[in-house]
């Protein structure tokens, strides 16, 4: 799939863990940034390796 004129941000393991784990120190800030990015119709990118690390850390 090709997406033209869309800004993308790469989210690493620490970003996903903070987003998904309410007790994480950065949860509120990361949640606000990711939700704002999604609502502005930008693209979030990650990798299978990052998702694997995220699941392992949860």
pTM of this prediction? 0.79
Q: What share of the chain is helix, strand, coil (3-state, %, to 5)?
A: 55, 10, 35
CA–CA distance, 54 with 41 (Å, rounded to integer): 24
Q: Residue 18: exposed, middle, or buried by beta-carbon count in 10 A (0-12, 13-18, 19+)?
A: buried
Query: Residue 4: pLDDT band by 50, 70, 90 thresholds?
Result: low
Query: Residue 33: pLDDT band by 50, 70, 90 thresholds?
Result: very high
Mean pLDDT within 10-23: 94
Q: What is the DSSP string of 9-35?
A: EE--HHHHHHHH-TTSTTHHHHHHHHH
């Amino acid at each position: 799939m090709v997406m033209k004129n869309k800004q993308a941000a790469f989210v690493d393991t620490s970003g996903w863990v903070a987003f998904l784990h309410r007790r994480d120190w950065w949860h509120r800030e990361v949640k606000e940034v990711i939700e704002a990015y999604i609502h502005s119709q930008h693209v979030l990118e990650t990798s299978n390796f990052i998702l694997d690390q995220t699941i392992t850390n949860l």
